[in-house]
Amino acid sequence: MVEIAVTHRGSEFARVVALLDQFGKDHGLAPEIVADMQVAIDEVLTNISKYAYTDNAEHEIHIRFQVRGNVLEAIIEDDGIAFDPLTIPPPDLNLPLRERRVGGVGMYFVTQLMDNVVYERRGEVNHLVISKRINK
């Protein structure tokens, strides 16, 4: 298992991507699996960065990656407002260019790219687990 904490402001999200690259190498994961997790993590972090905090303080987001059996799992925790990202409605994919918004696509990517997504509010913490089968 590896862990990392990054500021919610986004300036350190690239460190998470780099950590996943290394983690993928260390565990012999297929680049495709690592890429799906990197996209999903970027969406989750972006979401937290945009919506979780109403104050101006800096907050830490904690992320853990682990391989459990046949599954690559990421656990993301933030101390923002209670919010279940699975309640975001899926985007309307049929709108023309002028009316398309990217909002909503991010969490949709997460649910589509991952095999399992579970949200829980634990005390003052949003606890999100996203996982993908690695089919070794």
Partner 1 sequence: MDVRQEKIGEVSVVGVTGRIDSSTAPLLEKHLTENLGAEKVRVVLDLSRLEYISSAGFRILLLAAKRADDTGSRFILCGLGGKVRQLFDLGGFLDLFTIVGAREDGIAAVQ
Residues at the site binding partner 1, with contacts judged by CB under 8 A: 10, 13-14, 17, 31-32, 35, 38-39, 42-43, 45-46, 49, 91, 93-94, 96-98, 100, 102, 105-106, 108-109, 112-113
Q: How far is the CB of 109 from partner 1 (least distance, A)?
A: 6
Q: Is 105 helix (H, G, I), strand (E, B) or coil?
A: helix
Instruction: Provide the CB-side half-sphere exposure for 88 (13 A, CA).
Output: 23
CA dihedral 88, 114, 52, 122 (to 10 degrees): 100
Residue closer to partner 1 by CB (options 1, 14) is 14
Measured from the CB atom, is 83 or 108 closer to partner 1? 108
**67 vs 107, which CB is nearer to partner 1?**
107
Q: What span, in angstroms and rounded, lies between the C-alpha atoms of 88 and 62? A: 22
